[in-house]
Structure 1
Amino acid sequence: MQRLLTRLLASASAGLLGMCGPAQAGPIQTLLGLPDWMDLSVDYTTEPMGGMLGGLNPAATSWFQETVVGLSMSSGLNKEESTWQEIDHWQVNLELTNAAGDPNLNTELGSAFTLQTLVIPVGTWITEANISRNRGESWWDAQAGLMSMDPEFLVAPAYNNYINSTLNNTLNLLVVGLPINPFVAPGVKLGAHSENLGSIKYGYFYLNPETSIAASLGTDPEQPDVQGSLQALQWQINPLRKRKDLFEPIRVRNSRVTVARQLPLPLMQLGGYYATTKLLIEGAGEIGDGANRGLYASLTWPIELPVGLDNRIWLAGSLGLDPDNNPVPTFGAGGWLSQGVLPNRPLDVLALGLTRSSFSPTLTPGLTYEGVIELNYSIYISDVVQVQPVMQWLINPSGTGEVPGVWAGGVQVNLNL
């Protein structure tokens, strides 16, 4: 029983891609001379890392990479939104993701969760195939087809500045069978927006074909067949939307030079989800069948500090209401982001973050929590190339109290082609 739970937990943890949202068109678009109604992008990311137990000699190293190919088609892609006709709002989205490398760094170091955002079962995945209505300047948006919960639900832009999977993800929600990227399921999303009241989104996902879709291109998704459905509801608003300066470029101190703002806008977010799942594997009824309900919230806020050109703090947390079915029913996280902390590097971002994941006393008796502290520095080289060295400290790995703390370090290199 414990071995089964461990495998399912590792599989769910590996399935988190965090806020790796739709890829943006890069130089390959121009190179191929594609028409204005088509956007093609290729994003390549690699995350080599290594770790050591209790400050001793290196215990394990790992290399992992991911290539995401995205294609979007719409008559409104290169038009001003103010000129859109109804047909211009609609867009077809297709995306494939290929993952390769060694996904076992966390298990070799004794951690329950992956240290790298990218780590998923190796192979090629269908990660998007749908039609969507972009809101533009109207009040509503929609999407239907094959899709994940993220980036619409359980995520905020601030998380995307981190590398550890418990920071850059959907609040470490690890219920097996939920369609978190790279897993997709047939579904619909509907959204409504008000300048004064914010945005509200609703999503429904049909889970029965999820595992077969994941395996359709030959990948072993490391997840049993699932039956059930998921519904999610989320409200969010920019509480400082009247602060027009936060929408504008940043003026470099003692200079007339302005640079692009790299940090996210203020955000307040509240949401919840309700899932019913049945895992079609012998003995899984104790750990995966039944209802899973949860609530979550996040806040991103600007602060004035004597360091950096722009600063944010953020807090986030989730509470699972069915700990008998949820491996990590409580989760909390927070962090600080600062742009331009070094002279002559106004586009670089320094990020500090921490998380605490508490294990279910029913599913994993004897386990308490695992925590992470991450410090990284994102070096902006160009729109095409970014490099992000990182250091992590894993606290109470696996929640047993028996594994010493783990130091880990590495780098993320991202190419936006």
Structure 2
Amino acid sequence: MKRVRPWGALGAAMALLMAPTLAEPLPEAPDPAAPSPGSTEATPEPTGWGSLQEWLGLPEWLQLQLEIQAEPMANPVGGKASRASWIQQSTLQIVILPWRQSGSEASRWSMRTDLTFINGNPNYAESIGAVIPLQQLADPPGFWLSAAEIRRETLPGSWGLRAGLLSLDPEFFTAPLASYYVHGALNTAPGLGTADFPVAPLHAPGAVLSLRPSEELRLDVAGFDLTAMAAQVRRFWIEGSMAGPGGWLQMVQLELTPDWLQPSSQPPSLPPSAPLQLPPGSLQLGGYLGSGPNRGLYSSLSLPVGSGPGSDRRLWFAATLGLDPAFNSIRTNLSTGVVVLGPFPGRPRDLLALGMARTGFSPGLQPPLGQEGVVELGYQLRLNDNLNLQPTLQWIVNPGARGAWPGILSSGLQVTLTF
């Protein structure tokens, strides 16, 4: 794949003006907490620079959001070589809610389109001797139509639908706390070594049916046409190729959020500027079946931690198992970590994330690969409603999974700018 200069014109302009960064988009922050009942304290106005919605004076039925994401990273120690890299992603999301003011059923339907431009070097991990990407952004440069779908909102006691050009995430392969991390073994689709699965910004024609009989139970069933996805990628002049067998991909995932996985009490006396809490504790069980055959299982568990620093805490575990090494280069992935909201006094909206993972590769690969591990420490600094900074340190254990290179110490700054 052709190497792309890490500082293109777009990347340099954005870095000088806005210092953008991230990869796969972080989950949207909850609305600021309202004052407690009976309180006379007024909720402060949101801080930030505004949004496209406000600047353009758009109607409620037309919603625009621009997110500029970038990830500079360097490894001063270890690996095949010490290098620095930059990759950037800009995404424009367009949501149309034509029946917003209609009856209850019509108001649940919407249309969404995501347009993404990626610029930079997606091959940083390979250049320093690692197998798993060290960054969330590791996709070929170019222009992507990363979503074009119609959807019905999923509410408790009902069903939801997504149909059109879709990605697996956020419904599948994405543990609720995964997006607080950067390394590929901890973030979106951990342990998925299949080249042509539609993980954002890749997309495929397909549909996702969601059943939610109660607040605590959700079942997602999906099908994707991987053969048609390859044609879509070529249509947008994306570099690279689709190496999988094509055909169809079917997926099923069960998610439980029972009371015993929730905090015993609400976080005490949070200031109005703080998010309400981290995602609720949950148990996910899922599996997939693709052509080949290409089969696999995955699961995740997140638990509340009753006491400790910060206003809210989660301990989590995740595992994936690939059953067909001919089509999935990753055999196993085991990961765990802890996430703390508001770890320091006076910073209620910041977030501390510590995680570790071990990835085992499928037998039969040439050259044979053993295992590669990572320990990651990140701190998300929420400066205002538009700008997040997340410095990150990573230690890569056995980079390349062959014992050929010393461990890698890498540092990066993940920046997210949203309008």
CA distance in 2, matches of 1:156, 1:388: 19
Match of 1:121 in 2: 140
Unaligned regions of 5+ residues in structure 1, if any? 4-16, 277-289
- CA deviation after TM superposition for structure 1 residue 391, in Å: 0.3
Structure 2 partner of 1:316: 318
Relative distance call for 1:377 and 1:21 in structure 2 (3 A) is: closer
* 2:399 corresponding residue in structure 1: 397
- Contact 2:122 / 2:137 at 8 angstroms: preserved in 1? no
Decide which of 29, 41, 51 is 1:27's aligned counterpart. Answer: 51
8 Å CA contact 2:263–2:304 kept in 1: the answer is no
Instruction: Name the CA distance, whole Å, in 1 between partners of 2:320 and 2:361.
Output: 13
Alignment match of 1:89 (pick from 105, 108, 113): 108
Measure how far apart 1:399 and its partner are: 0.3
Q: Is the 8 A contact 1:331 1:358 kept in 2?
A: yes
Mapped pair 1:133 → 2:152: yes
What TM-score comes out, normalization by structure 2 length?
A: 0.84
CA separation of 1:404 and 1:225: change in aligned 2, threshold 3 A: closer
Residue of structure 2 in register with 1:154 after alignment:
173
Equivalent residue number for residue 39 of structure 2: none
Q: How many residues align?
A: 380
Note if 1:204 corresponds to 2:206.
no
Instruction: Note if contact 1:50-1:410 (Cα within 8 Å) is conserved in structure 2.
Output: yes
Are positions 1:305 and 2:307 aligned together? yes
Q: Which residue of 2 aligns with 1:326?
A: 328
- TM-score of the pair, normalised by structure 1: 0.85
Q: Is the 8 A contact 1:370 1:394 kept in 2?
A: yes
1:52 aligned to 2:76? yes
What is the match of residue 100 of structure 1? 119
Letter in 2 for 1:251: S
SS at match of 2:227: coil
Cα distance between partner residues in 2 of 1:320 and 1:410: 30
User: Following the alignment from structure 2 to structure 1, what is the Cα–Cα distance between the partners of residues 325 and 391?
Assistant: 36
Match of 2:337 in 1: 335
Deviations, residues 374-395 of structure 1 (Å, cap 9, x unaligned): 0010001111111000000000
- Which residue identity lines up with residue 46 of structure 1 in the other structure? A
Residue of structure 2 equivalent to 1:286: none
- Quote the residue 1:191 is aligned against: 210
1:52–1:269 CA distance, 2 compared to 1 (3 A): same
AA aligned opposite 2:88? Q
SS of 1:47's equivalent in the other structure is strand
Query: Would you say the 8 A contact 2:358–2:374 is kept in 1?
Result: yes
1:39 Cα offset (Å) = 0.9
Shift of 1:402: 1.1
2:289 paired residue number: 274
2:333/2:358 contact within 8 Å kept:
yes
Runs ≥4 residues deviating over 6 A:
21-26
1:364, 1:357 → 2: CA distance?
Answer: 17
Match of 1:366 among 348, 365, 368: 368
Q: 1:54 offset after TM fit, Å? A: 3.2
Root-mean-square deviation (CA, aligned residues, Å) is 2.6
CA distance in 1 between counterparts of 2:300 and 2:79 reads 33
Is the Cα–Cα contact under 8 Å of residues 30 and 276 in structure 2 kept in the other structure?
Answer: no
> Aligned equivalents of 2:369 and 2:111: distance in 1?
45
Q: Quote the residue 1:378 is aligned against.
A: 380
Q: CA deviation at 1:20?
A: 5.6
Q: Which amino acid aligns with 1:324?
A: A
For 2:375 and 2:262, the matched residues in 1 are separated by 31
Q: CA shift at 1:304, angstroms?
A: 2.1
- SS of the equivalent of 1:215 reads helix
Q: Which residue of 1 aligns with 2:358?
A: 356
Aligned pairs (5 A) from 1:226-245 = 227-240=246-259, 243=262
1:203: Cα distance to partner? Answer: 0.2
- Range moving further from structure 2, 121-130 or 189-198: 189-198
Which of 205, 214, 224 is residue 233 of structure 2 equivalent to? 214
Deviation string 1:346-368 (CA, Å, 9 cap, x unpaired) is 11000001111101111245310
| 1:219 positional shift | 2.0
Q: Find the residue that maps to 1:347 and give its secondary structure.
A: coil
Contact 1:249 1:258 in 2 (8 A): no
Question: Hey, what's the Cα distance between the residues in 2 that align with 1:136 and 1:76?
Answer: 17
Query: Given residue 66 of structure 2, which amino acid in structure 1 is its aligned partner?
Result: V
Question: Which residues of structure 2 form unaligned runs of 5+?
Answer: 2-22, 32-49
Query: 1:182 corresponds to which letter in structure 2?
Result: P
Q: Tell me, what secondary structure is at the counterpart of 1:268? A: strand
Q: Kindly tell me: are residues 171 and 323 of structure 1, through their superposed partners in 2, closer, same or farther at Cα, counting changes over 3 Å? A: same
Matches within 5 A, 1:279-298: 290-298=292-300
